[in-house]
Amino acid sequence: MCGIVGYTGKNQATPILIDGLERLEYRGYDSSGIAVSNDSGIEIIKSKGRLFELKKLTNGTKPEGVTGIGHTRWATHGGPSDENSHPHYSRDKKFAVVHNGIIENYLELREFLSERGFTFRSETDTEIVSMLLEYYYGGDMLDAIIKLRNKIKGSYALGILHDGEGGAFYALRKDSPLVIGLGEGENFIASDIPAILPYTRKFIIPDEKEVAVITPEKVTVYNRNKETVEKKITVSDLSADAAEKDGFAHFMLKEIFEQPGAIKKTVHDRITPDGIKLDGVKLNGNDIRKIYMVACGSAYHAGAVGKYFIEKLARLEVETDLASEFRYRNPLLGSDCLTVIISQSGETADSLAALREAKRRGSRVLAVVNVVDSSIAREADDVLYTRAGPEIAVATTKGYTTQVAVLYLLGLKLAHDRGTVSADEYSSLLSELKRVPEKLGAFIDEINPQAQYLAGKYYPAQDAYFIGRGADWSAALEGALKLKEISYIHAEAYAAGELKHGTISLIEKNSLVLGIAAEPALREKTLSNIKEVRSRGAAVIGVTDSPDSIKAECDDMITLPQTHPALTPLFTAAALQLFAYYVAAARGGDIDKPRNLAKSVTVE
């Protein structure tokens, strides 16, 4: 949701800013811009459209100067246009600002500034930041930024340039991600570590409302009381090419193929001869009365798989909740509850707010997060990392399946604590979970051409319905989201038994239905629902590990490998990801950057 980058050092800023923006483009891509300070002041170049529009304007080299900030936008206030693109100047052009987040009281502040003679060039909330800096500046930038911070409400990661400051620029954050990269004679800011990995592996993360003054030689961080604070330096172990496509046509395809390795990293060393070890997280299933799984989008769907698994195995009540609902619905939480916040990015605004709400109400919070040291990881009581590595495609794949894998580990641990799983089933699930990476690798290779074939046949579909029961329904939710977000085909997931209560009226000749029938105890039931849609003309792709039992009622089949029945959602997910990918490719969509979306949703 907007990416920001900043640089100061001995090199020209523009190529470094553009390179950083290229790596951040997944965060928003409707416009972009840079501001560089040099002897003639602050120069801004910005443009509506994809980054290549900006690259054309800058020619990769202009403006010249060694200190600058850049931005790639996902529009919130004001549509994509040259004027609404960041950076934004102050009235006197002495300040330039890039922003990720939302200034919630911007209308009130716009009025405040208008009454004092300021006029605005854009419709954005951000422009009031540069104007307020001009208004408050009385010779000391730190004071001006602190006054600004006291005035604005909402979420922000800000990069600020001030004319005449030599090589210095400034950063400030609250509820939006920001890292500061430490180099040799040069320093950086970025919304995300991979954006600046080619330049440095050393990072610090400012806390809420901290202000950083960044020069080529040093970074000074001030807390809320204007005292300097020592920050912990972390050294990233991500590889600099983690954000490269490695010969794949798209990041999404690369990330689908990375799933076996990512799941292996996520589960293997947590399954030990002495049982499941959850990174020192001290949890006992007997102390928990109820679990809330809270998340957004695909992470919520992972929680739904977790719910079925944990309830069945650990006999513990689990409620899944959308973070945007949970945070406002006065949930019945207490110290006997465990709230599990699931998030790939660790920065999703609603999930972060839900985490804070759960803590406020006395619940212990366990985060299942991919991005190390992200806000959700830092604020939770405990964290289990998913170890998927950087995920660049907007549509999550390995982020989702590693979340499911962590929830399997959690469920097994809780069931073991509570004595609700037999020794045989426990060890059979553990050994099967360890074998998932190998089986999934073989399955992805095998199903890849079949997914292409099916996509070639069904890509003109206008609507698609994904049906299933139990954990297959959870898998259906994720399959439908994958298809709709990248192919733009209207897709709905339905609990198979619920279809006849209304939605079946939409089924007509050639409606596409993906019938997921992997759960053995429910297969016959789902088969009846498949028959119901087929008899109304639907074309059905059956998804099952037991093809003989349903193929007579299906037009095409996706055959899942044999595994423990509880683990099939991982394989279903991979097959449906590939199907969605190839359908989107056949329809000519922009697969890694689907329209209207952004990777990390840091606004409400």
Catalytic site positions: 2, 599
Stretch that binds ligand M6R, among 66-74, 338-346, 404-412, 416-424 (CB under 6 A): 338-346
Stretch that binds ligand M6R, among 2-10, 192-200, 458-466, 594-602 (CB under 6 A): 594-602
Closest CB 447 distance from ligand M6R, rounded Å: 20
Unique residue bearing structure tokens 């897709």? 491
Closest CB 397 distance from ligand M6R, rounded Å: 8
Between 481 and 507, CB nearer to ligand M6R: 481
Going by C-alpha positions, the residue among 137, 146, 64 that lies closest to residue 95 is: 137
For position 298 contacting ligand M6R by CB under 6 A, the verdict is yes
**Angle at the Cα of 155 from the Cα atoms of 154 and 159, rounded to 5 degrees:** 125
As given in the structure block, the two tokens for residue 98 are: 């890039």
Stretch that binds ligand M6R, among 175-183, 221-229, 432-440, 596-604 (CB under 6 A): 596-604
Beta strand 234-235 with 463-468 is unpaired
For position 21 contacting ligand M6R by CB under 6 A, the verdict is no
* Distance set, CA 350 to CA 145, 294, 332 (Å): 27, 10, 18
Element (H, E) at 434: helix 423-458
Unique residue bearing structure tokens 């800023």? 13
Going by C-alpha positions, the residue among 128, 134, 140, 141 that lies closest to residue 92 is: 134
For position 349 contacting ligand M6R by CB under 6 A, the verdict is no
Q: How far apart are CA 2 and CA 19, in angstroms?
A: 15
Closest CB 376 distance from ligand M6R, rounded Å: 8
Stretch that binds ligand M6R, among 230-238, 248-256, 394-402, 443-451 (CB under 6 A): 394-402
Give 328's contacts (C-beta < 8 A, 6+ positions apart): none
Is there a contact between 513 and 539 (Cβ–Cβ < 8 Å)? Answer: yes
Closest CB 511 distance from ligand M6R, rounded Å: 24
Select the residue interacting with ligand M6R from 44, 221, 299, 585 (CB under 6 A): 299
**CA Rg, the chain, in Å?**
25
Going by C-alpha positions, the residue among 355, 356, 358, 307 that lies closest to residue 337 is: 358
Q: How far apart are CA 566 and CA 185, in angstroms?
A: 53
Closest CB 392 distance from ligand M6R, rounded Å: 12
Closest CB 62 distance from ligand M6R, rounded Å: 35
Beta strand 290-295 with 317-322 is parallel
Select the residue interacting with ligand M6R from 267, 333, 394, 415 (CB under 6 A): 394
For position 297 contacting ligand M6R by CB under 6 A, the verdict is yes
Between 212 and 299, CB nearer to ligand M6R: 299
Task: Please state the φ and ψ torsions of residue 401, each to the nearest 5 degrees.
Answer: -65, -30
Select the residue interacting with ligand M6R from 8, 259, 343, 602 (CB under 6 A): 343
Please report, as a single letter, which amino acid is at residue 163: D
Q: How far apart are CA 80 and CA 366, in angstroms?
A: 38
As given in the structure block, the two tokens for residue 336 are: 């006997």
Beta strand 202-204 with 271-272 is unpaired
582 burial class (0-12, 13-18, 19+ CB within 10 angstroms)? buried
Between 219 and 395, CB nearer to ligand M6R: 395
Select the residue interacting with ligand M6R from 395, 538, 566, 576 (CB under 6 A): 395
Bridge partners, residue 340, by sequence: 293, 366
Between 42 and 394, CB nearer to ligand M6R: 394
For position 601 contacting ligand M6R by CB under 6 A, the verdict is yes
Select the residue interacting with ligand M6R from 344, 386, 544, 602 (CB under 6 A): 344
Closest CB 403 distance from ligand M6R, rounded Å: 8
Closest CB 321 distance from ligand M6R, rounded Å: 14
Stretch that binds ligand M6R, among 105-113, 135-143, 261-269, 342-350 (CB under 6 A): 342-350
Between 351 and 511, CB nearer to ligand M6R: 351
Q: How far apart are CA 293 and CA 321, in angstroms?
A: 6
Between 203 and 581, CB nearer to ligand M6R: 581
For position 351 contacting ligand M6R by CB under 6 A, the verdict is yes
Select the residue interacting with ligand M6R from 396, 402, 559, 602 (CB under 6 A): 396
Between 204 and 598, CB nearer to ligand M6R: 598
Give 347's contacts (C-beta < 8 A, 6+ positions apart): 176, 177, 371, 374, 375, 376, 600, 602
Going by C-alpha positions, the residue among 12, 18, 15 that lies closest to residue 65 is: 12
Stretch that binds ligand M6R, among 61-69, 198-206, 339-347, 561-569 (CB under 6 A): 339-347
Helix 398-418 × helix 259-267 angle, to 10°: 30
Closest CB 299 distance from ligand M6R, rounded Å: 4
Element (H, E) at 580: helix 568-587
Closest CB 300 distance from ligand M6R, rounded Å: 8
For position 345 contacting ligand M6R by CB under 6 A, the verdict is yes
Is there a contact between 538 and 531 (Cβ–Cβ < 8 Å)? Answer: no
For position 255 contacting ligand M6R by CB under 6 A, the verdict is no
Per-residue binding letters, 472-501, with ligand M6R (x by CB under 6 A): ---------x---x----------------
Between 2 and 141, CB nearer to ligand M6R: 2
Give the ranges where 258-322 is alpha helix by DSSP (H). Answer: 259-267, 297-314
Cβ-proximal residue to ligand M6R, closest one: 297
Between 13 and 591, CB nearer to ligand M6R: 591
Given the rule CB under 6 A, which residues bind ligand M6R?
A: 296-299, 343-345, 348, 351, 394-396, 481, 485, 597, 600-601
